[in-house]
Structure formats: structure tokens, C-alpha cells
Amino acid sequence: MVGRIQRRWFVGFVAVVVFLAAVVAGMPMKGQAAGVVWPAPPHLTTPSAVLMDAATGQILYEKGADDKRYPASMTKMMTLYLTFEAIHDGKAHLDDIVPISQNAYNTGGSEVYLDPREKFTLKDMITFVAVHSANDAAVAIAEYVGGSVGQFVKRMNEKAQELGLTHTHFVNPDGLHDPNHYTTARDMAVLARDLITKYPEVLDYTKIHDMWIRNHTFDVSATNNLLGKYPGMDGLKTGFTDQAGYCLTATAQQGGVRLISVIMKDPDDQSRQKDTTALLDYGFKNFTPLPLLKPGDPLDVKAEVPDGVIESLSVTTQVPLAPLVPEGTKADALVRTVEWTPGLKAPVAQGQQVGTVSYRLGDQQLLQLPLYALEKDDKAGFIRMMFRGLIHFVTGAVESVFKRL
């Protein structure tokens, strides 16, 4: 009787264990994207497009992002970048009078018909470029800031390399067609993000609908026809040539989230507007930030520096660690990967990059950000390293003994 009861108890116990195991097996483990459905992408006419989170650089959508394309007047984002860089470096000033050369006068294409006898400030020229996409103003700026168009274009390509625009090459500051003047949608998104992050004042110009000059006789009107139509849009740069098609790098902000969209080689302006609207709507309506870490706050893992005075360095990011995710996504649904710089050795400077952190949601790569040292770490001296080695040896020996017990 006792044996029969024991057998029944045992069988019941096993049944419970099997049931619980089945339940656990069916439950989502930490890091799995349980119940999270990635939003269906929008239907676009354009062959090349990118949608990017301006805060982190996270790519929410891409299509032909690395295909070689002609940027047309989106080139002028780099022209504006170098102009604001010169102003911030004190090499140029907004109230400087910019000479108008015969070369600028003869540029052609989209222009404000600059005359060498006119006097306009650098601020005026920036406005002409940002609002009306004026080629003549772009050339005048290049000559003034760079000394010559050739020197300015050289700097454009140097800056492209500095920013990681590995599939971009510039031949001029205005975007008029040249077969050796090319880029990709991804590179344009990266350039746009760097531009508005480092020089946000550019948006004060690109959001202008129109302005009057020459005693109110000439209307400098915006080429971006979505200004005033799409909520929160304040930039950034259109482009068109027969070879490039209709292009637009746009940016808009809604609810504290700023997105950057790039459309290249659309067949007409209506398609360009429609695709840009669909792309931005896709981002704003389907994704929300998931705050994980504020810039300057330490991550919950540390960088190991074996030969440093501090063996374990606190690390952080320089931008908010807040990936955009589908509504309802929880932090424990993300899979985090931390990779340290191989062979990291002291000395380590404060702010030095020491690794990267990346996050995935199911099969979707969300973002990857550099990790930086929160403090400096000098190289440890011989005596410190000797005692450290002794401590590690003793600790290892003790752990080995306990494992055998």
C-alpha cells in the first residue's frame, strides 16, 4: 500500500515537473521578442531610401540604401556643413560681404541671378542655398570659404571621409551633374544627421518658406514643397537633375522624436513628396523611444584594462541609448551585445572609445553605439602589477581548492 502511494506520488510529481517544463519552454526567455511584430514597411516608388533616427543614427527602413546615386543639389548639405564649420572656427562671419565672381555669375541651373556688382552677406548666401538651392550662391560661398572652388571641393571630400561617407565623391559645391559626383542614400542620411547635430542653426534657414530681396522684387522661395504641409518639417535639402531624378533629404520632429528621410531618383516631385510623407509617417506612427541609458550615465558592464591602475573602467555613450521600437516593446525583449576594443591597454584617456554596444529585437538590428571611458586610466607600475599578479594567483588557487571540495 505504501509502495503504491509512493509510486502515485512520484508519477504525480513527474507530471507536474513535465507540465512546468512545457510551460517554461513555451514562455519567452529574456531577450526574445515575444509578441512583438515589426511594422510592415511602406510602399515607395523610389528605388533608394533611408529612414533614420536623428538622435542615435538608428536605421528604421532602407531600400537600395547603398546603391550609387547622383545627389544633385543635396550636395549643398556638405557646402553648408563646411560653411558653418568655418563660422564656428572663426574663419568666416555671417555679416561678411561675399564677393560674386564671374564664375559664380555663370554657374547656371537653379540660381538667384547674382550679379558681381551686388553685395550680399554670407548669411544671405546661406539663405539662398538653403531655401532656393541657388547654385550661384553655392559657388560664391565655395570661393569665399575655400579660397577657390577646387580647394573647397577638396575639403568636401576630406570631410566626407572624416564623416564615414565611404561611397561619396564630390566634384563641385552645387550638385550639377558629373559622372564622378556620386553618393548613396545612406551616406546622405549620415551627412544630414551630422549637419543638424553639429550645426542645428542650419534648420533656421531650411525651414524658411520664402523671402524677398532686391527691394522686394525677387522672391527667394523654398524648393521643399513639404514645408508647411508635413507636421514638424523644418528641412533639409532637395535635389534634381535629369540624371539624379527627384531627390529629397527631409527632417521633421514630432513628440520629441526627430527623423531623417532620404529619397533618391523619384520620377517627379509628387512622387518625392508622397514617398517622403509615407516614410516619415511610418516612423512617427509605428515607433517610440525606449530609454535605456542617459549620456554620461555608466553602463552596467565595465571595460577590463589589465595593465591599468583601474582594472575595470566605467563606460557610457555620448547620445541617449534609446532605440526606437514598436509600441509596447519592453526592455527585456531586447538582446544586447557588448564588444570591447581588442587588446585594450593603458593609458586610456577619458572619453576614449573602448568598445561598442548593440541591440537587437528578434531579427531586427536596432542600433550600435560607441562606448567611451568615463574616466582616465593610467598605466600601472611594476610594483602594482606584481602585487596584482600575486593576488590573482592566490585567488585562483583558493577557488580551485573550493571547487574540489
Could you list the active site residues? 73, 76, 133
Count of H-run helices and E-run strands, the chain: 10, 16
- The alpha carbon dihedral of 229, 233, 237, 240 has a sign of negative
Alpha-carbon torsion (214, 219, 205, 75), positive or negative: negative
The answer to whether the beta carbons of residues 54 and 196 sit under 8 Å apart is: yes
Strands (E), 242-391: 245-254, 257-266, 287-289, 302-304, 312-316, 324-326, 335-340, 353-361, 364-373
Give the integer Cα–Cα distance in Å for 238 and 224.
6
- Cα–Cα distance, 341 to 371 (Å, whole number): 10
Cell 533614420 identifies what position? Answer: 52
Residue in the structure block whose three cell numbers are 553685395: 119
C-alpha cell at 61: 527602413
Complete DSSP assignment for 36-79: --PPPPPP-S-SEEEEEETTT--EEEEESTTS-B--GGGGHHHH
For the chain, the residue count is 405
DSSP H or E run through 203: helix 202-206
- Largest Cα span, the chain: 115
Q: How many CB atoms lie within 10 A of CB 188?
A: 32
Which SS3 state, helix, strand or coil, does residue 308 take? strand
